[in-house]
Chains A and B, each alone.
Chain A
Amino acid sequence: MKLRLPRPAFPYSAPTTPRGVEPLPGEPRWGQAYDTDWARRTPARYARFFIVEGPMRAVVRALASPARRGADRLDAVRGPVIFAANHHSHVDTPLLLTSIPDRWRHRTVVAAAADYFFTNRYTSAASALAMSAFPIERKTVSRRSADQAARLIAEGWSLLIFPEGGRSPDGWGQGHRGGAAYLSSRTGAPVVPVHLEGTGRIFAKGDKRPRPGSTTVTFGAPLAPEPGESSTRFAARIETAVAALADEARTDWWSARHRAHAGRSPALTGPETTSWRRVWALGDRRSRRARQARRRWPDLG
């Protein structure tokens, strides 16, 4: 039998709203309005250091066995940067947070979807604490998100952003939005293209549980907007750079450079054709869920 405690009576509990009465609109407290400043203060940073270097690193190692490449391309970079990566899985953020070179790792904030990670008190606090996430609006263009990101970069925080705007629905990448390029143009922070290979096989969108696999994180050379370059063109350049890194991760650096210079790097977004052919063209990169044959016979124990 379920024990139910009696609800304390008003004024010891909140008042109920009478029927037919429109309540006053309250100040939104979650979503994009969530204030994450506390998560960048010293106690929270210490806590996050132990979370990232302890359990998060252990889980990432067990689940994703990452190979990390190209960090040497960032040797000459000083100050905050914007890491722009492709996005296939919830594993991407922990994988990147444990892969970013030491210089930036514990001073990086993650731009996270307000409508997914900041829906209530608990997910908001957990995202802000463990990932140093701050909310961005991905469905509408929001000045508030951009202002907050620019302020954080000005304060010396690096930014991790997934310009595709969400996890891949089918294993192929999605076109880059202009956020990373705009912020780079506005703040002067260089964009570091990053390619993540293999996370889609571990925990793709729609998977119920993760399956261990191997991944490769490839950091590219930093990019800066050219004089007079629009955010759209710069965003396209970032997408091309990530595509070249994807090519490098799948083939080798030399052939990838050849194709990149000839403008023939395979696009992240895959062929524009029917959905089954897109899945087919993924080859080994399909998620295991999609590749595994469904059980055809009842399990008789």
Chain B
Amino acid sequence: MAHRPGFVLEVDRSTPPTLFHHGEGFRLERLPAGSRVIYPSEALAPLKDPDAAIRHALLNPVGSDPLPALLKPGMKLTIAFDDVSLPLPKMRRPDVRQRVIEAVLDLAAEAGVDDVHLIAALALHRRMTEAELRHAVGDRVYDAFAPRGLLYNHDAEDPDNLAFLGETDQGEEVEINKRAAESDLLVYVNINLVSMDGGWKSTATGLASYRSLRHHHNVKTMRHSRSFMDQHRSELHSSNWRMGEVLRKSGVKVFQIETTLNNDTFPKPFDFLQKREWDWTARDRASFIAVSKTLERTPSRLKRSIFQSIEAPHQMTGVNAGEVEAVHAITTAKVFEQQLVPVDGQTDVLTMGLPYICPYNVHSVMNPILVMCLGLGYFFNLYRGKPLVREGGVLIMSHPTPWEFHPVHHPSYIDFFEQVLADTTDPIEIEKTYEKSFAEDEWYRHLYRTSYAYHGVHPFYMWYWGAHALQHLGGVIVVGGDPKAVRRLGFKPASTLRDALEMATDVVGRDPSITHLHNPPLLVADVT
């Protein structure tokens, strides 16, 4: 059956309760009659033979010579690939990156290329563990390269392995991984889960240093990205594209390979999560009851490990290779084909259920700062045109928001939460007063480089990510969250959705329009 596109449902008395993600759990909520629910599109049909499609893309690239023509014996080849933050949840083996990297390496072996390095382009994210690298690139590639030190994580704080390439016309410094910059060919293997990913952002962000990243990861850029899911209205992208121009002029030759995935996000027994409630069969209802009841009685650590072990049955819907911008234009169109849902007009109150995962807590804890980033950073920005919620409107999100942090992955987050947010939640003030001391802290730098910690400045970026929403919204209410943690974020806690809607009327007045973002599976609202 062909996939059904996403659509907007108007709630009436016959509408079944609506599913809200709620961290490692779910809630069924009855929305007031007249509310709207935005449903994502069903999964697009996948490519029948992904390996053949990859090979075809490499041999017939857009705006570039075929890959075999670019490969020569004696050349320096670097393959960079997206890190653990993509895709979400992690996909079943074989990962798309493995398929693409094996195809590229096979052509390189055929051409007699010996000098090959593989780099996880993780920018200021935590380093990937061996298990995560194996999952991404596959055992064959890992066993062939990692033991010889030819497969490794990018280090944005290693002065000996960074190359400064110049400045953009707006004074933004461009500094990326030295090996990538000095290679005869840099092949970038990307997974485009949302339209924000890919393009010049892959290299200009993924392989960059803090010195370079700070030019577009700041409050000003984020507030001028409306939204960063729409490349043409995103200052984040404009900055990356300017940096891409510097890369090009410096002679960095990039062969970009971008892949798109379908919306098939949850495997059994969680597949009811991607069905519309009225399509739930008796089996789906039984699964929901069994899963929900079991989760209520499960300790949080176990719940987390159950959810973090979910492997999405994502399948590839497209693969394109060649010149960065030409490839990215095709990729973005494919992503929008899967995710775009037309929505007529803004709303006073936007509700959303936040799931257990965001790009920065894979195999980790979703701490309160990440809750803010997922809700106000990512979900709020899942729009094209206008924000889903009107200026001065209220955002209601559902998540347990535990006061809990992963001490290895998120050490600077703990201090950010305890020190910085206790003082102020204003992004401008935070940036001005605190960013430098965290970014240049030797201990955080050490943990980032040698342990599995996010960079010291990362929690700041998470906060900036929500800066546009913080400026736009009249209030944020968290349903079912730890009240202390929610208040520390500067938001209001509520026990139930009904309470939250009642509280929202203080800001938006009586009888507000309500819209629910039924997400994930991912959708982007095309608001007119």
- Assess whether B74 is interfacial by the CB under 8 Å rule: no
B49–A254 CB distance below 8 A = no
Q: What's the least CB distance linking B179 to chain A, in Å?
A: 17
A260 to B, closest residue via Cβ: B109
- Which residues 58-105 in A have Cβ within 8 Å of B in the complex? 69-70, 72, 75-76
Which residues on A sit within 8 Å (CB–CB) of B98?
A: 72
Convert B107-127 into 0s and 1s, putting 1 for each residue whose CB lies closer than 8 angstroms to a CB of A.
001101010100000000000
Which of A69, A76, A260 has the largest count of B CB atoms less than 10 A from its CB?
A: A76
Q: In the complex, what distance in Å separates the CA atom of A241 from the CA atom of B48?
A: 25
Which residues on B sit within 8 Å (CB–CB) of A257?
A: 105-106, 109-110
Which of B140-148, B281-289, B368-376 binds A? B140-148
Which residues on B sit within 8 Å (CB–CB) of A262?
A: 112
Which residues on B sit within 8 Å (CB–CB) of A137?
A: none
Q: What's the least CB distance linking B45 to chain A, in Å?
A: 14
- Assess whether B17 is interfacial by the CB under 8 Å rule: no
- Which residues 26-59 in B have Cβ within 8 Å of A in the complex? 48-52
A254 with B144, Cβ < 8 A, contacts A75-B94, A76-B48, A76-B50 known: yes
B49–A248 CB distance below 8 A = no
A254 with B110, Cβ < 8 A, contacts A72-B93, A76-B52 known: no
Q: What's the least CB distance linking A26 to chain B, in Å?
A: 53
B109–A254 CB distance below 8 A = yes
Which residues on B sit within 8 Å (CB–CB) of A253?
A: 102, 140-141, 143-144
Q: In the complex, what distance in Å separates the CA atom of A223 from the CA atom of B106?
A: 16
A258–B109 CB distance below 8 A = yes
- Assess whether A120 is interfacial by the CB under 8 Å rule: no
- Which residues 254-272 in A have Cβ within 8 Å of B in the complex? 254-255, 257-258, 260-262
- Assess whether A229 is interfacial by the CB under 8 Å rule: no
- Which residues 12-58 in A have Cβ within 8 Å of B in the complex? none
- Assess whether A147 is interfacial by the CB under 8 Å rule: no
Which residues on A sit within 8 Å (CB–CB) of B145?
A: 254
Which residues on A sit within 8 Å (CB–CB) of B48?
A: 76
Convert A261-301 into 0s and 1s, putting 1 for each residue whose CB lies closer than 8 angstroms to a CB of B.
11000000000000000000000000000000000000000
- Assess whether B521 is interfacial by the CB under 8 Å rule: no
- Assess whether B138 is interfacial by the CB under 8 Å rule: yes
Which residues on A sit within 8 Å (CB–CB) of B138?
A: 72
Q: In the complex, what distance in Å separates the CA atom of A261 from the CA atom of B73?
A: 13
- Assess whether B323 is interfacial by the CB under 8 Å rule: no
B94–A72 CB distance below 8 A = yes
B140–A69 CB distance below 8 A = yes
A254–B105 CB distance below 8 A = yes
A255–B144 CB distance below 8 A = yes
A76 with B144, Cβ < 8 A, contacts A69-B139, A254-B105, A261-B109 known: no
Q: What's the least CB distance linking A56 to chain B, in Å?
A: 26
A261–B144 CB distance below 8 A = no
- Which residues 81-137 in B have Cβ within 8 Å of A in the complex? 93-94, 98, 102, 105-106, 109-110, 112, 114, 116
Which residues on A sit within 8 Å (CB–CB) of B51?
A: 75-76
Q: In the complex, what distance in Å separates the CA atom of A258 from the CA atom of B51?
A: 20
B143–A252 CB distance below 8 A = yes
Q: What's the least CB distance linking A102 to chain B, in Å?
A: 14
Which residues on A sit within 8 Å (CB–CB) of B49?
A: 76
Which residues on B sit within 8 Å (CB–CB) of A70?
A: 140
Which residues on B sit within 8 Å (CB–CB) of A69?
A: 139-140
B140–A248 CB distance below 8 A = yes
Q: In the complex, what distance in Å separates the CA atom of A117 from the CA atom of B221?
A: 75
Which of B98, B109, B143 has the largest count of A CB atoms less than 10 A from its CB?
A: B109
Which residues on B sit within 8 Å (CB–CB) of A261?
A: 106, 109-110, 112
Q: In the complex, what distance in Å separates the CA atom of A63 from the CA atom of B168?
A: 64
Q: In the complex, what distance in Å separates the CA atom of A255 from the CA atom of B52?
A: 23
Q: What's the least CB distance linking A244 to chain B, in Å?
A: 11
Q: What's the least CB distance linking B79 to chain A, in Å?
A: 11
Q: What's the least CB distance linking A224 to chain B, in Å?
A: 12
Q: In the complex, what distance in Å separates the CA atom of A255 from the CA atom of B93?
A: 23
Which residues on B sit within 8 Å (CB–CB) of A248?
A: 140
Listed by A's residue number, 8 A-B pairs whose Cβ atoms lie within 8 Å are A69-B139, A72-B98, A75-B51, A76-B48, A253-B144, A258-B112, A258-B114, A260-B109
Q: Which residues of A contact B (CB under 8 A)?
A: 69-70, 72, 75-76, 248, 252-255, 257-258, 260-262
Shortest Cβ-Cβ A-B pairs, 10 listed: A254-B144, A252-B144, A253-B140, A257-B109, A72-B94, A261-B110, A76-B49, A258-B109, A253-B144, A261-B109
Q: Which residues of B contact A (CB under 8 A)?
A: 48-52, 93-94, 98, 102, 105-106, 109-110, 112, 114, 116, 138-141, 143-145
Beyond the given A75-B50, A253-B141, could you list 15 further A-B residue pairs with CB under 8 A, ordered by the A residue number? A69-B140, A70-B140, A72-B94, A72-B138, A75-B94, A76-B48, A252-B140, A254-B109, A254-B141, A257-B106, A257-B109, A258-B112, A261-B106, A261-B109, A261-B110
